């Protein structure tokens, strides 16, 4: 398949793998964080770690959109969805995320009407087709998905579709990265930067990471060769004593991002003073809410939302995993009390979640798997 297979070529991978090995100083341990859940997914799906020398560790970052949604927000969404006049709409991988009292799937089983959509425009279509119902879109995701939500609100406004609203849970990536950088003694050698987010925000916002924290960051694509090449670029920066923002994903990411998308987001949404992240707690200026002007499309203003804060389960160490302090299998409940069937934490729900990816794809030691597949 064109535009896919050329980025999954095993021969090129072997060549890159050799170059990566040659750049590693013997005896030195390297820790790189892939910020984005899409990268985590690719790494496990393709077995990419088989190409890395033992002294490179990949740490899974906070960039999985469903993993960072706190339980209280899920409960709030379910509260809205349970109203008989409401049709809730959501992306597929949100459906199984547990709140304090179950997931969207559980709520559906008890009568709530929740439909899976592939884009907020699908939700708008449902609103158009059901003028007597109130259609709410559960908006989640980083800067990647915020523009499509904003554009949909603008279209609803233009078409005067007043029964469409957004339950806005969009978050922004930079404060989360900064929170990680500010963790004392958390030693990272560099970042594999989020590709999709960067198509929107560009590469500029990462400059402080290279300048103030002296960590290299390479914005990376989502195919396995993209990630290998990014690791190579990070190692080359380290070897040459540089810390810069580089763009490996230039075929998709313009350096300046997408100003039109940012304008749309800015028109419809504004930064919240603070927002709770699953496992990370409250982070200031880290999420987007709807502007007053679009109140008629803002589910938080239209509906009476309990807004209760549900503490993360005690045993759950999602926060540590999201920050890369713990490897998934180091969590106390990993694979026993918390499994993909009965997730306690969100990291175990989405296939992009570090724990689910690790559980599904990489539970066994590399040596044992290598031995078995020889």
Partner 1 sequence: MTGADGTASWAEALVREHESHAVRPGREEQVLERIDRARRRRATVREEYVTMAHGAGGKATQSLIEAIFLESFRNPLLEPLEDGAVFGAGTERLALTTDSYVVSPLFFPGGNIGDLAVNGTVNDLAVCGARPLYLSAGFILEEGFPVGDLRRVVASMAVAAEVAGVQIVTGDTKVVQRGKADGCYVNTAGVGLIERPGALGVAGARPGDAVIVSGPIGEHGVTIMLARGELDIEADLISDTAPLNGLVAALLDACPEAVRCMRDATRGGVATILNEIARASGVAVVVEEDAVPVRQAVRGACELLGIDPLYVACEGRLVAVVDGAVVDTALAALRAHPLGEGAALVGRIGEDPPGLVLLKTGFGGTRIVDLLVGDPLPRIC
Q: Does the protein bind partner 1 through residue 271 (CB under 8 A)?
A: no
Task: Give the nearer residue to partner 1 in terms of CB position, either 13 or 81.
Answer: 13
Q: How far is residue 55's CA from residue 8's CA, in Å, rounded to a whole number?
A: 23
Q: How far is residue 191's CA from residue 175's CA, in Å, rounded to a whole number?
A: 15
Q: Does the protein bind partner 1 through residue 196 (CB under 8 A)?
A: yes
Q: How far is the first Cα of the chain from the last one, in angstroms, to the nearest whole number?
A: 27
Task: Give the nearer residue to partner 1 in terms of CB position, either 162 or 360.
Answer: 360
Q: Does the protein bind partner 1 through residue 252 (CB under 8 A)?
A: no
* Smallest separation, CB 296 to partner 1 (Å): 26
Tokens matching residue 349 = 């729900």
Tokens matching residue 56 = 């490179």
Q: Are 315 and 337 in contact (CB under 8 A)?
A: yes
- Total residues at interface with partner 1 (CB under 8 A): 86
Q: Which of 56, 78, 88, 108 binds partner 1 (CB under 8 A)?
A: 108
Task: Give the nearer residue to partner 1 in terms of CB position, either 67 or 245.
Answer: 67
Burial of 244 (0-12, 13-18, 19+ CB in 10 A): middle
Q: Does the protein bind partner 1 through residue 284 (CB under 8 A)?
A: yes
Q: How far is residue 109's CA from residue 107's CA, in Å, rounded to a whole number?
A: 5
Binders of partner 1 among 18-57, rule CB under 8 A? 38, 41, 44-51
Longest dimension (CA), the chain: 67
Q: Does the protein bind partner 1 through residue 127 (CB under 8 A)?
A: no
Q: Which of 82, 100, 122, 291 binds partner 1 (CB under 8 A)?
A: 122
* Smallest separation, CB 179 to partner 1 (Å): 6
Backbone CA torsion sign across 276, 179, 321, 233 = positive
Q: Does the protein bind partner 1 through residue 303 (CB under 8 A)?
A: no
Q: Does the protein bind partner 1 through residue 208 (CB under 8 A)?
A: no
Q: Which of 6, 10, 15, 25 binds partner 1 (CB under 8 A)?
A: 10
Q: How far is residue 182's CA from residue 161's CA, in Å, rounded to a whole number?
A: 44
Q: Does the protein bind partner 1 through residue 329 (CB under 8 A)?
A: yes
Q: Does the protein bind partner 1 through residue 283 (CB under 8 A)?
A: yes
Q: Does the protein bind partner 1 through residue 251 (CB under 8 A)?
A: no
Neighbours of 50 (CB within 10 A): 12
Q: Which residue has the tokens 């699908």?
A: 122
Q: Does the protein bind partner 1 through residue 132 (CB under 8 A)?
A: no
Q: How far is residue 132's CA from residue 46's CA, in Å, rounded to a whole number?
A: 47
Binders of partner 1 among 74-103, rule CB under 8 A? 91-96
Task: Give the nearer residue to partner 1 in terms of CB position, either 77 or 302.
Answer: 77
């Amino acid at each position: 398949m064109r535009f896919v297979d050329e980025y999954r070529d095993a021969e090129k991978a072997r060549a890159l793998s050799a170059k990566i090995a040659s750049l590693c100083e013997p005896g030195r341990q390297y820790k790189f964080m892939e910020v984005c859940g899409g990268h985590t997914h690719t790494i496990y799906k393709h077995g990419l770690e088989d190409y890395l020398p033992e002294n490179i560790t990949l740490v899974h970052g906070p960039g999985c959109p469903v993993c960072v949604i706190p339980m209280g927000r899920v409960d709030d969404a379910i509260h809205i969805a349970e109203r008989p006049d409401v049709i809730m709409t959501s992306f597929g991988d949100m459906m199984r995320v547990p709140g304090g009292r179950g997931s969207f799937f559980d709520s559906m089983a008890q009568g709530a009407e929740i439909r899976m959509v592939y884009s907020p425009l699908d939700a708008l279509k449902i609103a158009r087709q059901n003028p007597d119902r109130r259609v709410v879109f559960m908006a989640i995701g980083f800067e990647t998905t915020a523009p499509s939500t904003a554009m949909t609100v603008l279209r609803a406004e233009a078409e005067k579709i007043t029964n469409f609203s957004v339950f806005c849970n969009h978050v922004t990536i930079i404060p989360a990265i900064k929170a990680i950088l500010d963790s004392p003694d958390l030693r990272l050698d560099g970042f594999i930067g989020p590709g999709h987010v960067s198509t929107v925000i560009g590469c500029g916002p990462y400059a402080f990471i290279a300048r103030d924290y002296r960590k290299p960051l390479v914005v990376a694509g989502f195919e396995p060769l993209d990630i290998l090449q990014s690791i190579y670029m990070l190692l080359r920066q380290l070897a040459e004593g540089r810390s810069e923002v580089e763009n490996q994903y230039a075929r998709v990411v313009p350096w300046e991002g997408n100003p039109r998308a940012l304008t749309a987001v800015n028109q419809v949404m504004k930064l919240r003073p603070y927002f709770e992240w699953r496992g990370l707690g409250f982070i200031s200026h880290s999420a987007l809410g709807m502007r007053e002007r679009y109140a008629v499309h803002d589910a938080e203003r239209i509906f009476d939302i309990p807004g209760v804060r549900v503490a993360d389960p005690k045993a759950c160490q999602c926060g540590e995993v999201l920050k890369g302090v713990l490897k998934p299998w180091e969590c106390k409940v990993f694979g026993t009390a918390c499994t993909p069937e009965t997730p306690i934490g969100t990291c175990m729900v989405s296939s992009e979640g570090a724990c689910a990816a690790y559980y599904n794809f990489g539970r066994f030691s590399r040596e044992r798997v290598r031995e078995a597949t020889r």
